[in-house]
Amino acid sequence: MAKVLLGVSSSIAIYKACEIVRELKKANHEVRVVLSPFSQRFISPLTFGALSGNKAYVDWEEDPLLHINLPRWSEVFLIAPCSINTLSKVALGIGDSLLTTCALSHKGVLMLAPAGNVEMYKNPAIQENLRKLKERGVIIIEPEEGKLLCEEEGQGRLASVERILDWVEYAIRPKPLKGKRVLITVGATREFIDRVRFISNFSSGLMGFSLAKVFRWYGAQVKVIAGFTTAKEPPEVEIIKVVSAQEMYQEVMKHLEDAHIVVMNAAVADYRPLEVYSGKLKKQEFMEIKLVKNPDILESVGKVKGKRFLVGFALEERENLKENALKKLSSKNLDLVVANPLESMGSEAYEGFLIFAKGKRVDIKAKNKLEAGERIVMEILEYL
């Protein structure tokens, strides 16, 4: 849990600030809100007070030292939406409101999520102000491309609530993995029989994407090689899309050299059709499809891993889970195997255990895979 001070400046995107407060509270963070004077014409401070459970402030009516006390209280100061006007004032050191003076007094993590017209945002003076802020260590959550209120298309839309919340989680954690590169495989591969039919499985990619998020939160540079997924992709992470096991093998071996930690979470098809029909096969009473073995990506990485920390996953029946997990740990030359019962595939909750090469075992039971992912990363950090 963190103490988050949310600054709200005037923008039509202010409605998203209400959702930001709600989601921060849902994540067990304590939230206080400070508004720019003009922003209360869009939404009343009473609304933010009700959502946050704390009084929302616009001026110094109760405490002449609010611009000192609020920043000292907070661990993270997030301004979202941050108007072009507020952005420039913070960059130039102008403190003409409670919001901007709080920004000048804050010594912790400062994050700005700009929102505005594309022409204003791309203005050379504003780009210069952005450069100044980044050089000072201010985190800029870049606006997104799309249709703006003025009906123009371009970069200027406030970042999604999901991206903003992800940056808050990033900001509140230490960075023991700074300078480390993590390669993760995610999702299900598809092995086509004809142009419309394929062999695959139920993997959603949720665990792999959760791990990618958490590794980034702790400072790692994360690259994901993803097959078919239904889970939401993590923000601020490089994702390389593949379809088949052979494509995934090629991409893994291509990017392996740069990685310090390799997490093989993808559910890779063991076999593929010997021949792929060029059109669509017609219905028949009986059909025989010859299958050939796909490359064993995990085994291939284990043979050349060197000093890399290699993580594999074992999805098995409960009664054989430990035995098969230990077998995979040894035969694939893993540093860690994450053992999952079959029920974990496609589910939100997680129950399984970790076995490290040196024998340590850790049981994990979590309400969701993001929570489980953080437990796994923390165990890896402790082990390393």
User: Where does residue 1 rank: exposed (0-12), middle (13-18), buried (19+ CB within 10 A)?
Assistant: exposed
Using alpha carbons, select from 80, 21, 11 the residue that is nearest to residue 47.
Answer: 21
Residue 257: count other Cβ atoms within 10 Å of its Cβ. Answer: 11
Pairing of strands 350-356, 336-341: antiparallel
Whether 83 contacts 116, CB under 8 Å: yes
Question: What token pair was written down for 95?
Answer: 């403190």
How many residues make up the chain in this entry? Answer: 384
Which residue has 């019962």 as its token pair? 341
Task: Classify 117 in phi/psi space as left (phi over 0), alpha (psi -120 to 50) or beta.
Answer: beta
User: Where does residue 43 rank: exposed (0-12), middle (13-18), buried (19+ CB within 10 A)?
Assistant: middle
**CA–CA separation, 317 vs 311, rounded Å?**
20
Residue 302: count other Cβ atoms within 10 Å of its Cβ. Answer: 20
Q: Which residues are catalytic?
A: 150
**CA–CA separation, 79 vs 370, rounded Å?**
26
Return phi, psi of residue 99, to 5°.
-60, -50
**CA–CA separation, 314 vs 305, rounded Å?**
19
| Three-state secondary structure string covering 87-118 | HHHHHHCCCCCHHHHHHHHCCCEEEEEECCCH
**E strands present in 90-237:** 109-114, 139-140, 144-147, 153-157, 181-186, 191-192, 198-199, 221-226
Task: Give the chain's radius of gyration (CA, Å).
Answer: 25
**CA–CA separation, 277 vs 194, rounded Å?**
4
